[in-house]
Amino acid sequence: MQALIATVAQIRKMGWDWIGINLDDGAALMAFRIRGAEGEQCWAGGTFRSKDGIVQILQPADMDFRAGRRWVSPRTGISYPVHWQVRAANRVFDLDPLLDDQENDTRLSTGAIYWEGAVRTYEGQTPMGRGYFELTGYGDRLKLR
């Protein structure tokens, strides 16, 4: 019972980072990581579909999310990492938001405050596509019911 209580307490302190990217050459990437209370990666994975339609399942060892520049919401004071470098297998993508202020305050419905929005994708300095990024758990801990 103690282990179950500890596990539930840890889960409530987690957040996740999730991306869906459409690359200009027809390839696509969906990737995520689950973060623990200290920001550590607890789990990660995803799928990469090549321009030829070959799908690669990405395991935790295939993924690395590195936060860069941060933006602070003028409404909530929450600091979000809005620039990211994501390694997916042997490719590395830089993600920049189309605009920094893409915070969603859903306290009156789901109870969460999170950042989600459109991003540009680069490989090195080369523009590679566009996508969507979701960041949760950077303000108050998530309330799981």
DSSP E strands: which ranges in the chain?
Answer: 15-23, 28-35, 41-49, 55-58, 63-67, 70-72, 79-81, 84-88, 91-97, 103-106, 112-123, 126-135
Q: Examine the pLDDT at 23 and tell me if it is beyond 90.
A: yes
CB 113 within 8 A of CB 135: no
CA pair distance 22, 43, nearest whole angstrom: 23
CA pair distance 109, 87, nearest whole angstrom: 34
End-to-end CA distance of the chain: 19
Q: Examine the pLDDT at 143 and tell me if it is beyond 90.
A: no
pLDDT above 90 as % of the chain: 73
The predicted pLDDT at position 123 comes to 95
CB 29 within 8 A of CB 23: yes
**All structural domains of the chain:** 2-135 (2.40.370.10)
- What angle (nearest 5°) sits at the alpha carbon of residue 114, between those of residues 111 and 116? 135
> What is the three-class DSSP state of 85?
strand
The predicted pLDDT at position 41 comes to 87
Q: Examine the pLDDT at 138 and tell me if it is beyond 80.
A: yes
What pLDDT digit, counting tens, does each position of 58-69 carry? 999 999 999 999
Average pLDDT of the chain? 89
The predicted pLDDT at position 12 comes to 53
What pLDDT digit, counting tens, does each position of 67-118 carry? 999 999 999 999 999 999 999 999 999 999 999 999 999 888 877 899 999 9
